[in-house]
Structure 1
Amino acid sequence: MNSPFLSMGQETYHVSLKNVFGQNRRKLCKALQQKPVSEGNLVVYLHGGPSETRFDSDHEPLFRQESYFWYLTGVKEPDCAIAIDVATQHATLFIPNLPASYATIMGRIKTREEWKEHYQVGEVLFTDDVEDTLAGMLEKRSNGTKSKLLLMKGLNSDSGKVYEPPVTIVNHEKLSSHVDVELLFPILAECRVFKTAAEQGVLQFVTEVTSFAHAYVMRNMKPGMMEYQGESLFRHYCYYNYGCRLVGYTPICGCGPDAAVLHYGHAGEPNARQSNVGDNCLFDMGAEYFGYGSDVTCSFPIDGVFNDRQRPIYQAVLNAQIAVYRMIKPGVSYVACHKAAEAAILKVLVEVGIVNLAGKTIDDLVEMRLGAVFMPHGLGHFIGIDTHDVGGYLAGHPERSELPGLKSLRTARILLENMTLTVEPGCYFIDHLLNEALAEGSFLKVHMNEAKVNHYRGFGGVRLEDVIVVTADGIINYTLCPRTIEEVESVMAGGKWPPTEDIAPELFRARLTEPNPLPSPPSL
C-alpha cells in the first residue's frame, strides 16, 4: 500500500505526508530532546490557521495554512491544532467538530479515522477536547517533575511581527502553570532553516516548474503586451500544466521604468503598464505547490535582443551571480557573498563609465557602500514554506547590519549544508537613490559620472534570482532558466528550452540537460 501523499491528481508531483511532514515532526522532537530541560514530559502545541471571511462579508478567500503548522502537519484544512508528545513523538491532531449541514455546502465530512490515515498522525480528536487532552498529556510520565507545554512566541525578522501563543491556552486554569513560551520558537525556526531531502525534492520540483514557466513567458512576451499578460501566462503555465494553484507571492512584472521598483505589482501598481519597444523587463514570479514555494527572477529585452544599454547591465548582474556561486560552501558568510556581488556589478559600472574609481579600488567602493546605490536590497534570503523563510536573525547568529544595502540582507548567517536560499543580485537606476548620491556634500558624488547616470535614468533595472541549496562542498542550483545573453536571445527567438547543451556550467544548474524531469506541458 502506498503511503498517503498530497497531489493535484493525474501525473502531478506527490508530496509524501510521512517523508515530509512526519520527518519534520521527528526532527523537531530530536532537537528538543537534546536540550537540557527538566525531566518532566514536554508537549508541543500549535494552532493552525483559522477560517476567515473578507472583512465583514461572507466571501471566503482561498485558505492557505499557517506556515509553522504546515511544516509539522501538511494539513490543508483550517481551524485545526496539533499536540506532540516529544518523548514518544506521538502526534494528536485536533479537527473541528463540524455540523451535518456542513456537508451540504462544503462536501462530505471525513471521519476521524480518515483524517488519521491521511495525515499519518497517531490520533485525531475534536478541538473541543484540546484542553483536557493537553492536561492529560502533561500528567503522563511526570515522575514528580513539572511537565512543560511548549507554545510558540517569537519575532519574525522579515515582517517584524510576533507569533503570539493562544491566549485561551496560556490562561487556562489547568494549563497555565505548565506553559513555556521561550523554548520552542527558536528551535522550530532553526529546524526550518535546514531542509530535509524530502523538502529539497519539493523545492526542486516547484523551482523547475517556475523556471520553465519563466521561459514560456519570455518566449511569448512581445512589445505592446501588458505587464499583467506576462503574469497571466505564468500563472496559467504553472496551474494548467502542473497543478500549482497558488503563487508564492504577488508577481512582479515590471517593464521599462517599472523594473526599478523592487516590489512592483502590488495593489497600487498592479502590473498595468503596456510594454514598449526597447523596454527591459524584470519578471519576479514563483509557483507554490502544497506549501513550498519558489522565487525566481528573469530579466530580458522585450524586443528579444539586448541593446547597447541593456547588455552591460545584464552581464554585470550575471557576473555577480557567478561570483557568488564560486564562493558559496559551508563556512562562508552570506554578508561576504553580498559584497562579492556588489563588487562584480561595480566593476562593470566602472568599465562602462557610470562609476569612477577616483583613486579608490572596487573593494574600497564596496566598503563605502556605493554598491547600495545600485543594489539597495539584500543578495537573497532563506526560502521554503515562506518566500522569505524564517531563521535569518535568530539569537546566537550574526546580527543585522545598519549599513545601506546590508541592512536589507535577510540573513547574515554563516552558510551551512542543507540551507536553501535565493541568490538575487540586481542593478537598478532609482531616481531618489541616484539623486542622493549625486547631491552636493555626498561623499559618493566624486565616484558618479552624472552624464552617464542620467543616460540610464528610466532604464529600470536588472535582477537575476535563482533558488539554490548549499551542499557539502558547494551548491546545487535548482533554477533552470535561460541565463546567458545567448540563451535569453535564443529562447525569445523560439529556440528549444531546456537545451541539449549547458553552455554555462558555472551556474551549477542541476538537471538542465537531463531528460525533462517534469511531464510534458500541454500548453507548449
Structure 2
Amino acid sequence: MSSEAISMASSSPSSFSPPNIPMELHALNRQKLVRSLRQHLQSLSRPLHGFVFLQGGEEQMRYCTDHAILFRQESYFAYLFGVSEPGFFGAIDIASGKSILFAPRLSADYAVWLGEIKPLSYFKERYMVSVVCYTDEIVRVLHDHYKGAGKPSLFLLHGLNTDSNNFCKPAELEEMEKFDSDLSILHPILTECRIFKTEMELSLIQYANDISSEAHVEVMRKTRAGMKEYQLESMFLHHVYMYGGCRHCSYTCICATGENSSVLHYGHAAAPNDRTLDNGDMALLDMGAEYHFYGSDITCSFPVNGKFTSDQCIIYDAVLKAHNAVISTMRPGISWIDMHKLAEEIMLESLKTGGLISGNVDDMMAERLGAIFMPHGLGHFLGIDTHDPGGYAKGMERPKEPGLRSLRTIRELQEGMVITVEPGCYFIDALLEPAMKNSTTSKFFNHKEICRFKNFGGVRIESDVHITCNGCKNLSNCPRERWEIEAVMAGAPWPLDKSFSRGNIGEG
C-alpha cells in the first residue's frame, strides 16, 4: 500500500472528551419509577402512600486487611440516585415524588485521611434530591414525611437477577419493625424501568461506546506477534482511562488469542490474559469501558499479524454475515429467539459453503447443531450493568434446548431497549468431540476439515444496539469488514476517509 493511500490518525490521542454528567438523568429515572409504581398500586386498589427505600453499596475490604477495594455503587441505587460514595440510603415518597438521601455521619478522622467532610447541602445540590439527612435519622425522617395512616410502608428491593441467579439485597434497618415492609412489588417494576433507556442514559452509553471503540482500534493497530495478551488489555485500559475518564470497565477484559479465543469467558483469575501472541493467531478482544455507571460491551476479532488467512476468512465471514443480518433485521416487535436462530442459520450456511459441514441446514437447525459452534446466547440487555436485568419477566420460561437455554432474554424487541448483538463461532473440543461421535449429528461434520480447526479458537463480533421506533442504531464503531481491519492494522485512519476504498488494500 502506498504512503499516500495510508495516512496515520491525527496527532490528537482521542477524538472524545468526557462529557458532563447530567444529574437530571437520575431525577428522570425516579419520576419514571414513581409513575409506574402509582399505576401498579392503583391497579391493586392500594393507597398511594409509602416509600421506595434502597440501601446503597458499602465499601469492601480485601479479606481481613485494611486494603479497600475500589468502590462502585450498587446498580439499582446508582440508577435512581447517581451517588458515587458508599454508605448511603435513599428513599422516594410515592405520594409526593420527593426524594430523600441519607448520608453516613463521618467521624472527624475522615477529614485527616480521606478529605473534606461535605455538608448535607453539598449532596442535596450535587444529586438533585429534595432532602438530605444522616443515616442515623432515617426512622424519624421517614415517619415525619409519611402522610398516610398507620405505619409507613417501605417498598424494598428484593428479586431474582435472571442472569446471575442471585437475589437483590433489600435495605436493612435496626428498627425495621416500625415500618410495614413490602418485598414483592418494587423489584419487577424498577427492573422494567431499567430496560428502557432515556435520551440522557443513551448519551452516556453512546459515549462509553465511542471511547471503547476508539480504544479497540488503538489496540488493533498496536498488536504484534510476540506480545502478551495482557499488554493488549493494558493498552485498552490506558486509553479509556487516560483519554476517556473511565476509571471502571464494564467487566473483566477478555484478551484471547489462538486456542484461548474458544474460552467464552477467558481472562478470569485462572486464565489471566497471559499467553504470548503467535504470528498466525486470531485475536478475540471483548472489552468495554464504563462511564458514570453506564457501560459498553464490544468484541473485535482480527488476525494478530494484520492479514487474514483463507481459514480465518471462512470463520470470520460466517460470524460477520450473522452479525450484519441480525442488525439489519432488528426493530420493535421482532422476537429475540428468532434473531438467535437467524444468526445460527446464517453461520451454518457459511460453514457449509466453507466445506466444514454438509447436509440440509434445516435438519441441522432441528438437531441444534448451531449450539455446538455458538453455545452462548446472541446477546443481552446493556446499561448500568453489562448484563442489564429484565431478560425474563414473571411468567417467561427459559428455553431448554441447547444454545437457546443460554439466551439472556426471550423478549420481543421494543423501542428504547439497548441490547448487544454478539454472534460467535468457536471450536470447543468439549462440545465438538461428543457431537462428532453422536449418531444424530456426526453425519453433518466433514471430520477432516473440522480437525484442521482444532486449535483455531474462535471468532466473536459484538456491537451494542439501540432499538428505535422503526429500526435500530448501532452504537459501536469499529472496523468490521476484513478489508477495513487490514487497512487499519496497516496504519489507515479510522473511520476510513472518503478517498479510501477497498481497492487500496488486498483481500488477504
Q: TM-score range by the shorter chain?
A: over 0.9
Q: Distance in 2 between matches of 1:317 and 1:40?
A: 51
The superposition leaves residues 94-150 of structure 1 with CA deviations (integer Å, 9 ceiling, x where unpaired) of: 000001110000000100011101110001000001122223333x1x2x4775310
Note the residue ranges of structure 2 that are not aligned, 5 or more in a row: 1-15, 502-508
1:174 aligns with 2:182: no
Amino acid at match of 2:378: L
Q: Secondary structure at the match of 1:253?
A: strand
Cα shift readout 1:317-375 (whole Å, capped 9, x = no counterpart): 00001110121110010000000000110011101111111xx3x23322321000000
Question: Given residue 445 of structure 1, which amino acid in structure 2 is its aligned partner?
Answer: S
In structure 2, what residue type is equivalent to 1:455? R
Q: What SS class does the counterpart of residue 202 from structure 1 fall into?
A: helix
Q: CA deviation at 1:167?
A: 4.2
In 1, Cα distance between equivalents of 2:33 and 2:439 = 50
Q: Which amino acid aligns with 2:278?
A: N
Give the drift of 1:277: 0.9
User: Is 2:19 the partner of 1:22?
Assistant: no
Deviation at 1:242, TM superposition (A): 1.2
Q: 1:47 aligns with which of 55, 62, 86?
A: 55
Contact in 1 for aligned 2:426/2:458 (Cα 8 Å): yes
Contact 1:425 1:465 in 2 (8 A): yes
Q: Classify 1:347/1:83 alpha carbon distance in 2 versus 1 (closer, same or farther; 3 Å).
A: same
Pairing partner for 1:192 from 185, 191, 194: 194
> 2:404 matched to which residue of 1?
406
SS at match of 2:176: coil
**How far does residue 501 in structure 1 lie from its aligned partner after superposition?**
4.2
Q: 2:443 aligns with which of 440, 443, 446?
A: 446
Residue in 2 that maps onto 1:157:
162
Pick closer, same or farther for the CA change 1:168–1:352 going to 2, 3 Å: same
Contact 1:50–1:78 (8 Å) recurs in 2: yes
Q: Give me the whole-angstrom Cα distance separating, in 1, the residues matched to 2:454 and 2:280.
A: 14
Deviation string for 1:239-291 (max 9, x for gaps)?
11111111110000001000000000100110000000100000000001110
Report the alpha carbon displacement of residue 168 of structure 1 after superposing the two structures with TM: 2.9
| Equivalent position SS for 1:309 | helix
- The corresponding residue for 1:478 is 475
Instruction: Indicate the residue corresponding to 2:365 in structure 1.
Output: 366
- The equivalent residue for 1:93 is 101
2:420 aligned to which of 410, 419, 422: 422
Q: Deviations over 1:60-107 (max 9, x none)?
A: 011000000000011000000101002211000000000111000000
Moved more, 276-285 or 160-169: 160-169
Contact 1:92 1:122 (C-alpha < 8 Å) held by counterparts = yes
C-alpha separation in 2, matches of 1:321 and 1:152: 36
| SS of the residue 1:469 aligns to | strand
Given the superposition, is the C-alpha separation of residues 244 and 375 from structure 1 closer, same or farther in structure 2, using an over 3 Å criterion?
same
Structure 2 counterpart of 1:296: 298
Matched AA of 1:404: P
Asked if structure 2 preserves the Cα contact closer than 8 Å seen for 1:49 and 1:79, the reply is yes
Work out the CA distance in 2 between the residues paired with 1:503 and 1:44: 55
Q: Secondary structure at the match of 1:129?
A: helix
Higher RCO (CA-CA < 8 Å; seq separation 6+): 2
Match for 1:294: what amino acid?
S
Cα distance between partner residues in 2 of 1:172 and 1:278: 62
Determine the structure 1 residue equivalent to 2:4.
Answer: none
Q: Which runs of 5+ in 1 are unaligned?
A: 1-9, 505-524
Q: Is this contact kept in 1: 2:323–2:423, CA < 8 A?
A: yes
Paired residue type of 1:172: M
CA distance in 1, matches of 2:369, 2:488: 34
1:377 maps to amino acid: H
Whole-angstrom distance in 2 between the partners of 1:502 and 1:474: 30
Amino acid at match of 2:23: L
Aligned to 1:124: 132
Distance 2:362 2:27 in 1: 47
